[in-house]
Amino acid sequence: MVQKAGRPPPGTPAVTRLGEEDWRIWREVRLAALADTPASFATTLEEEQATHEDGWRTMVRDAAIFVVTAGGTAVGAVAGFYRASAQERGLGAMWVAPQWRGRGVAALLATAVISWARSEGASTVGLWVSGDNARARRFYENQGFRPTGRRRPFPGDPSRIITEMSLSVICDL
């Protein structure tokens, strides 16, 4: 179940990594994210609604999908994924239910991906953020991400620009 508008449910938020058998949870949360903030994502609600079970299973199998739940309800999700470089992982598809924004859920999700990247032996985590989403950019900067200088048009809307950000995840011992 995905958190709908209104008051936050009771319970302490907890992060879980989804397995392939949890594809329905990923589908539900992803569709809720696309319905809530369609301009934040490169795919559309209609495109994702047309995805069949095998496509959802592949997404969960080929990435590290994390969901935050509170009181048994999904209130946020993020995907950690492999990038072209063997030393780099990506962070994407971040979404937090509206009534949970500003309550630490995004930080839990980012930390989950960063920890996953470290456990994979990666040296950096990269992401792309829209230039017109100042709140997201500030959040990622507060997590330690810095602009790389790379920019490109937003997929599906070349009038918008996205900026790459990166975080070193190498632990100093």
Q: Give tens-digit pLDDT for 113-136.
A: 999 999 999 999 999 999 889 999
The answer to whether position 133 is within a domain reads yes
Hey, is 57 helix, strand or coil? helix
pTM of the predicted model, to two decimals?
0.90
Residue owning tokens 């990435």: 63
pLDDT for res 2: 54
Sites in the chain below the pLDDT cut of 50? 3-6
The answer to whether position 130 is within a domain reads yes
The answer to whether position 101 is within a domain reads yes
Number of domains in the chain: 1
pLDDT for res 155: 87
CATH, residue 62: 3.40.630.30
pLDDT for res 172: 56
Range of the domain at 20: 14-168
pLDDT for res 10: 62
The answer to whether position 6 is within a domain reads no
pLDDT for res 124: 97
The candidate with the shortest Cα–Cα distance to 167, out of 105, 84, 89, is 89
The answer to whether position 111 is within a domain reads yes
H helices present in 62-162, as ranges = 105-119, 134-142
pLDDT for res 5: 46
CA dist 153 and 161 (Å) reads 5
Give 130's contacts (C-beta < 8 A, 6+ positions apart): 39, 40, 136, 154, 160, 161, 162, 163
